[in-house]
Chains A and B, each alone.
Chain A
Amino acid sequence: MDSHLISEFRSIVGDAGLVTAPEQLRTYECDGLTLFRVVPELVLLPASSEEMQAIVKICYRERIPFVARGSGTGLSGGALPVKAGVVIGVSRMNRILDIDVPNARVVVEPGVTNSAVTAAVSGSGYFYAPDPSSQIVCTVAGNVAENSGGAHCFKYGVTTTYILGLEVVLSDGSLVHLGASTMDYPGYDLVGAFVGSEGTFGIVTKITLRIIKKAECIQTLMAAFNSSSEAGGAVSSIIASGMFPAAMEIMDRLALEAAEAAVHASYPDCQALLLVELDGSTREVELLMEQVGPICTSCGAWELRLAKSEAERIAVWKGRKAAFAAVGRISPNYLVQDGVIPRTALPRVLGEIDRLSAEAGLRVANVFHAGDGNLHPLVLYDRRIEGQEQRAMTLAEEILRLCVEAGGSITGEHGIGEEKKHFMPVMFSAADLDAMQRLRTAFDPYDLCNPTKMFPGTDFQYQRPIAYEPHPIEVAGLAQRY
């Protein structure tokens, strides 16, 4: 990059806000999806909205594309740098600006982590509901970009439900305010449009979010089944009984083995484990939990275990959240998918996945949010064996097609990013995609914000896809794949 430009950027963000050394730039070459890597020209780390505006104005003037980045835990390559572009990290903008407990509002800068929000309000009995399992390190800005979910979004909804107002720097460097701190604001729901736009509309510099009160009582039941289909049947029966659990999760044999090896959560030794969490008033949770057990038993559960203490409940979840990373213990390489299906299609789709898995001669571990039909099949393989990686990628794609055919989606919470952009036409018509492009160009007419992502048809060159490798922060034990 031109040295005058670098000096100009330095005059705004200072030395602390500028990364130019090649070895340091490599830290930013990928996000949680390590399949794709591009070393950025420059990384900028502004410390304020003003600095953000000033650097984006330069990018606009020079038509330099830029990619916003939180902690880089995304799993679809959304924060993958683009050729001849800069990365703008929000890590130095990490202050909680205001906590308003009576109104259940918190105002944060974009680099504040998801967990930090809950930590700041848990003393008052509140929490921030979206709970992606990278929550210890992932930023609220990243959550906004990806519309992150988590295990508890079946009942509580995803990020978009909790974002009320955004301060955003648009591609021309102008600062706009979307939404407000109040529930309603006249005009188009631009907060709704912005959340989940994967960094292609602008960069958030301030976020007003909603927190909620922790339930009086939370109970988690583990039910052991002889197959995932049986466990899936229990999920449908629980729903049919009129209950609305806070979370319902299934782990299959392979995933359980892996989780057990990593966390020693003392799960029952079974083919499929269903976790059912109820929350609400103590009286209601106790009465309903009395019904959940028999429903599970009637669907084939042969062991029921209720977490007896809060510590035990946390251990159960720790094992569940560790399942992704733990699969690394039972397979040298693996691919993670994020398809969604209507809940009732669960037994059929699981059967199909088994069949495809057998045909490909590859093992597939299943960990999924059964309540909302969000599957996370993990395709296990060994890159050292010739042809396996290609077979694994083909299998992962077939699973996604299966989800779309069942009336579902190619991604429930990981986003499209770089990874799944070629799949968009499987799910959307040309007219659907064209409508999305119109919205994109209304925000970013010169295609400067995270260009080449989300949509097919761009001739972006990346290095040959390579297999999954643990991200540095995973190796450091700071995050897990979910």
Chain B
Amino acid sequence: MNENQYPIEIAWTDLEAIVGSDNIWPACSRDMVDNLQPEKVIAPADAHEIAKVLQYCSSADLAIIPRGGGTKLGWGNRPQKANLILSTERLNRVMEHAWGDMTATVEAGCTIASLQQELKEHGQRLAADPLWPDRTTVGGLLATADNGTLRLRYGGIRDLVLGVEVALPDGNVIKAGGKVVKNVAGYDLTKLVIGSLGTLGVITRATFRLHPIPAATATYCTLLSNTSEATQIVLAILDSQLVYTGLQVRADNPHQISVDVRFEGILESLQDQAAKLNKVAGGAPFVQGSSEVWKARQELFSHAEHSVMCKCSVLPAQIGMLCEAIFSRAQSAAVSSIVVAQATGVAEVRLNAARVLSAVEVLNGLRAELGHLDGTLVIQQCPPAVKEALDVWGAVKDALPLMQQIKGKFDPARTLNPGRFVGAI
């Protein structure tokens, strides 16, 4: 050993002692987060090793960025510090598929696609369709609470998780919730960690409630010429007794708007639903469409390195207004835009701006306008310069002090993702 080694070298040696020398290696440019270069990547074997690493880093004042599939590392504000990437790649097993109970327990590093593959053997699925299922891991999905088109019928990911195991910065591994579908014992820490962007602990395992894979699926689409008509149709379908499992609005200009509906179930029922759909929709004829339309949300993200991707949340009846606001602001700033809105009122928006300033102008304007509607705008992915100009989360009103308190209780040394979450938590 070198007598003149820096303390950081001691830290690497200590961490090696926890995970083994094969499981910590120098980070490279591919491991950068928002142009911040971490020094090492560490891949612990299990929850207890993760907890030990967290505890060690807390005391050594090293910052950790937890990483699953690495698909959403650009989400959140730029980290204030990033010494280590903590990869969950070695925790990748489906622990249990209790198909009779319609539950499954999975390690955090397992991808959504491989989980679904396993569940399929017994005709079941996790009724969620997040972005990039081939690479997205269970841990990453929970940390970002990314919800897709199935949320409208099956609830968000928060509603599909029964329990979690979490490694905390104090070195403990805790469990919250359980394996049964109904459980009110103790606080619902599961909800607290879902969507917390890895700022409270590292999720190491989750138990999901499952649903049967539907016997058949059918998609119907209609093309409309203005946003208010699209909103009316969405509201009419929401107000109907149709059993849809997806309802979305796609638009890249104010005069060509597609409304998509998905039905799932037994074949006879789908035909019945399709017939009723055209009665509910009144004048707008729905025709059978491709199931590919449900990938529109993910497609927005393709080759979007120079674009701004954001998530707008409004009430269902405000979807038309949201589209109008986006198109008019984008147009006046010479920015092109595409909207894929779910009938839940959550819309994914892509802005293609040649100049950063124009994008920032549109975003600030939109955020202010949505504020009046009690809606919110969160930037998910954008060029670094945009992050320098504004907070990706926007303002969190009077609950921020409470959120800061909670962060302080779980991660007092700010080891996990410092600065990335709301209010630079």
Contacts and interface: CB of A to CB of B under 8 A. Distances in A.
Nearest to B378: A186
B273 A103 contact: no
Name, among B145, B166, B186, B213, the residue most crowded by chain A CB atoms within 10 Å (CB to CB).
Answer: B186
A239 B100 contact: yes
A176 B405 CA distance: 14
A412 B183 contact: yes
Given A157-B155, A284-B266, A193 B183 contact: no
Contacts of A177: 397-399
Given A189-B191, A344-B100, A442-B402, A182 B376 contact: yes
A45 B60 CA distance: 51
Interface in B137-183: 145, 147, 151, 155-156, 158-159, 166, 168, 172-176, 178-183
Given A102-B316, A149-B182, A175 B376 contact: no
B179 A342 contact: yes
Interface in A323-344: 340-344
Interface stretch (B25-33, B106-114, B240-248, B281-289): B240-248
Interface stretch (B84-92, B254-262, B307-315, B357-365): B307-315
Nearest to B163: A409
B273 A281 contact: yes
Contact of A176 (B155, B215, B272, B402): B402
B241 A281 contact: yes
Given A187-B393, A190-B402, A215 B241 contact: yes
A157 to B, nearest CB: 6
B344 A283 contact: no
B384 interface: no
Given A187-B400, A189-B195, A344-B98, A287 B184 contact: no
B239 interface: yes
A454 interface: yes
Contacts of A154: 181
A182 B239 contact: no
B375 interface: yes
Contact of B188 (A195, A239, A283): A195
B194 interface: yes
A275 to B, nearest CB: 17
Name, among A189, A216, A288, the residue most crowded by chain B CB atoms within 10 Å (CB to CB).
Answer: A189
Interface in B291-344: 311, 313-317, 344
A441 B409 CA distance: 8
Interface in A174-191: 174-178, 180-191
B366 interface: no
A424 interface: yes
Interface string A79-95: 00000000000000000
Interface in A221-277: 236, 239-240, 242-244
Contact of A190 (B200, B235, B266, B399): B399
A439 B195 contact: no
Given A147-B188, A185-B313, A373-B101, A287 B266 contact: yes
Nearest to B122: A240
A432 B176 contact: yes
Nearest to A175: B398
Name, among A181, A186, A443, the residue most crowded by chain B CB atoms within 10 Å (CB to CB).
Answer: A186
A102 B239 contact: yes
Contacts of B158: 189, 192
A283 B272 contact: yes
Given A188-B406, A216-B241, A436 B189 contact: yes
A125 B239 CA distance: 9
Interface in B395-418: 396-400, 402-403, 405-406, 408-410
A284 B243 contact: yes
A413 B183 CA distance: 7
Contacts of B403: 187-188, 190
A440 B145 CA distance: 23
A407 B155 contact: no
Contacts of B238: 102, 104, 213
A431 interface: yes
A429 B174 contact: yes
A196 interface: yes
A424 B185 contact: yes
B6 interface: no
Given A157-B159, A288-B266, A416 B186 contact: yes
Nearest to A217: B241
B311 A184 contact: yes
Nearest to A188: B403
A408 interface: yes
B374 A182 contact: yes
A438 B180 contact: no
Contacts of A213: 238-241
B346 interface: yes
A93 to B, nearest CB: 20
Contacts of A240: 99-100
A427 B402 contact: no
A47 interface: no
B186 A436 contact: yes
A105 interface: yes
Contacts of B189: 193, 435-436, 439
B375 A182 contact: yes
Interface string A29-52: 000000000000000000000000
A236 B100 contact: yes
A413 B181 CA distance: 11
B172 A431 contact: yes
A197 interface: yes
Contacts of B145: 189
Given A103-B317, A343-B100, A184 B376 contact: yes
Contact of B243 (A185, A281, A287, A414): A281
Contacts of A342: 98, 100-101, 103, 179-180
A372 interface: yes
A411 interface: yes
Contact of A186 (B179, B192, B374, B393): B393
B241 A408 contact: no
Contacts of B100: 236, 239-240, 342-344
B419 interface: no
Nearest to B235: A102
B146 to A, nearest CB: 11
B110 to A, nearest CB: 20
A220 to B, nearest CB: 18
A476 to B, nearest CB: 27
Given A213-B241, A432-B186, A409 B180 contact: yes
Contacts of A431: 168, 172-174
A193 B192 contact: yes
A101 B268 CA distance: 30
A14 interface: no
Contact of B176 (A195, A236, A410, A435): A435
B383 interface: no
B273 A341 contact: no
A172 to B, nearest CB: 11
A183 B345 contact: yes
A183 B344 contact: yes
Nearest to B168: A435
Contacts of B276: 281
A416 B186 CA distance: 7
A160 interface: yes
Given A180-B376, A439-B187, 5 more contacts: A161-B155, A186-B396, A193-B187, A284-B266, A342-B103
21 contacts: A153-B182, A182-B314, A184-B311, A184-B313, A184-B376, A187-B423, A188-B422, A189-B196, A190-B402, A192-B190, A195-B191, A213-B241, A243-B212, A280-B243, A283-B272, A284-B269, A408-B179, A409-B183, A424-B186, A436-B186, A443-B402
